[in-house]
């Protein structure tokens, strides 16, 4: 790795997207943000959709900026959140504007599946039950707009669709496919019998390829438009969490868990095989695929979404707060006064309009229902959210130890949430474990390093993680006030 190797990561999140330039040189990785753009749902006729053409246009703008650098780019790849998809036919980029996973059309989906039981679904897919899953969305398509499913000849999840439009083959990368609840992690293929039982058209599901697969070359049209030339298109870990976990700077020794901290909190461990037991189903853990087929046994937790929705409500009410503002206000508020269960369904949907009181009103409602003081200030609300998340991390880690039979003594936190120092300290104190944070841009780093593995510039995932450890700063948080947090955990576990 004596010479410079350049790569592009197209990293799409639920709040924003970015085109990142990654450079490998002398055993280190540097990242540079070339282009950042907003991503938000658009409400159309009462439904929540993604502005897919906006995303594509912004990605091309980022690629133009990369081309203007006149660097020898080896490859590029997109990653995105899971479960959401586009339906295609022939050269049509999409049939209908893709739904956003928080759209309410899928509410009650599992009750509409007829004689297909939860036990059957979990034994096949090992995926956590959430009505946002692709299974629920596609089954809702079957019931509400069957003509589109009949007309379509291809189903592609968001990052896979972007890679295809840039010049890659129309394939499904395994880590992203595994989020659908229609993937069999034991066979590493679509769950054909389940798809048939649901009445979904099997022909629309594309070939599944492992992470790090070369799938094509940038289209001639885009080569000319972006001045990037014949850049290879790679299916990295197309699921953003899969890419982020690949960039966790942990050694091969056991005893660690990861937390990808952002809009969602994805907390889990790596496992050589899926855990499809009744106990795992009851605890609602998910088995998703990581780099080279490693299973990510994890739980999806609401994450900073709850705080983001509060920020949106305050902004629409005329009060603009930055994350730094909220951190400072939370530090001024008394600790561990009121707690919520972030997994309560009321906190998973959009907080609604300012007129409804938004997410703060839902937090107040929950506290009244559970006979707790209602947080009376912005700082108190923020502190309530962060402390409650931390206590849910502890519960999830305890369940992981129960499922795997292995102790977890440290927690690696990666992603944008690592900037929230109060949340990091609360996580250490609530879980009673050492917390190590960084890198912030774990998804982009993982995306690029998997491309580098595919191209032969990096030999293995272990080497990639060592590169991350050398390249990005890490901070350590130790548990504090164990007795206080133990009492708070007792209160938390008693919540509905």
Convert the pLDDT of each residue in 355-392 to its tens digit: 788 999 999 999 999 999 999 999 999 999 999 999 99
Position 354 confidence tier, pLDDT thresholds 50, 70, 90: low
What tens digit of pLDDT does each residue of 63-74 get?
Answer: 999 999 999 999
Burial (CB < 10 A; 0-12, 13-18, 19+), residue 419, is: middle
Domain 5-235 falls under CATH 3.40.190.10: no
In words, the CATH class of domain 240-303+391-482 is alpha beta
Which H/E stretch holds residue 184? Answer: strand 183-184
H helices, E strands: number in the chain: 18, 21
Name the phi and psi angles at 169, rounded to 5: -65, 150
Domains 5-235 and 240-303+391-482 share a fold: yes
What tens digit of pLDDT does each residue of 395-408 get?
Answer: 999 999 999 999 99
Percentage above 90 pLDDT, the chain:
95
In the chain, where the domains are located = 5-235, 240-303+391-482
Are residues 154 and 134 in contact, defined by beta-carbon separation less than 8 angstroms? no
Query: What is the arithmetic mean of pLDDT over 51-75?
Result: 98
Catalytic positions are: 240
- pTM above 0.85? yes
Are residues 113 and 139 in contact, defined by beta-carbon separation less than 8 angstroms? yes
Query: And the tokens for 337?
Result: 């006064």
What tens digit of pLDDT does each residue of 297-351 get?
Answer: 999 998 999 999 999 999 999 999 999 999 999 999 999 999 999 999 999 888 7
Query: What is the arithmetic mean of pLDDT over 126-133?
Result: 97
pLDDT for 14 beyond 50: yes
Residue 426 or residue 292, greater confidence: 426
């Amino acid at each position: 790795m004596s010479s410079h190797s350049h790569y592009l990561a197209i990293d799409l999140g639920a709040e924003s997207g970015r085109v990142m330039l990654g450079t490998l040189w002398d055993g280190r990785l540097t990242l540079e943000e070339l282009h950042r753009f907003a991503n938000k749902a658009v409400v159309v006729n009462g439904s929540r959709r993604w502005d897919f053409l906006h995303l594509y246009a912004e990605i091309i703008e980022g690629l133009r900026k990369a081309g203007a650098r006149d660097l020898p780019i080896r490859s590029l790849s997109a990653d995105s959140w899971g479960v959401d998809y586009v339906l295609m036919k022939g050269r049509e980029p999409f049939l209908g504007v893709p739904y956003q996973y928080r759209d309410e059309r899928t509410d009650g989906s599992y009750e509409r599946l007829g004689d297909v039981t939860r036990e059957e679904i979990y034994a096949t897919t090992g995926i956590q039950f959430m009505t946002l899953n692709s299974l629920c969305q596609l089954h809702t398509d079957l019931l509400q707009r069957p003509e589109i499913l009949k007309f379509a000849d291809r189903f592609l999840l968001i990052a896979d669709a972007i890679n295809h439009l840039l010049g890659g083959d129309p394939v499904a990368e395994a880590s992203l496919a595994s989020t659908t609840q229609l993937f069999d992690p034991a066979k590493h293929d679509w769950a054909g019998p389940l798809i048939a039982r649901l009445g979904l058209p099997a022909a629309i599901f594309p070939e599944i390829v492992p992470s790090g697969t070369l799938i094509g070359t940038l289209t001639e049209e885009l080569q000319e438009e972006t001045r990037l030339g014949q850049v290879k298109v790679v299916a990295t870990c197309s699921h953003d969490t899969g890419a982020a976990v690949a960039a966790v700077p942990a050694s091969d020794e056991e005893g660690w868990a990861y937390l990808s901290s952002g809009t969602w909190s994805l907390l889990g461990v790596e496992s050589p095989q899926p855990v499809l037991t009744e106990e795992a189903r009851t605890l609602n853990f998910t088995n998703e695929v990581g780099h080279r087929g490693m299973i990510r046994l994890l739980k999806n937790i609401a994450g900073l979404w709850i705080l983001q929705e509060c920020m949106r409500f305050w902004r629409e009410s005329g009060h603009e707060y930055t994350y730094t503002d909220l951190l400072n206000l939370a530090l001024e508020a008394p600790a561990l006064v009121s707690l919520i269960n972030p997994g309560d369904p009321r906190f998973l949907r959009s907080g609604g309009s300012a007129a409804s009181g938004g997410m703060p009103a839902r937090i107040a409602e929950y506290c009244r229902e559970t006979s707790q003081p209602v947080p009376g200030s912005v700082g108190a609300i923020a502190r309530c959210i962060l402390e409650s998340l931390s206590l849910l991390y502890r519960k999830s880690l305890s369940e992981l130890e129960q499922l795997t039979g292995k102790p977890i003594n440290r927690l690696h936190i990666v992603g944008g949430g690592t900037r929230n120092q109060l949340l990091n300290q609360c996580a250490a104190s609530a879980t009673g474990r050492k917390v190590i944070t960084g890198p912030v841009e774990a998804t982009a780093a993982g995306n690029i390093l998997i491309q580098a593995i595919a191209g032969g510039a990096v030999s293995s995932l272990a080497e990639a993680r060592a590169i991350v450890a050398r390249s990005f700063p890490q901070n350590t948080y130790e548990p504090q006030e164990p007795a206080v947090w133990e009492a708070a955990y007792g209160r938390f576990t008693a919540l509905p």
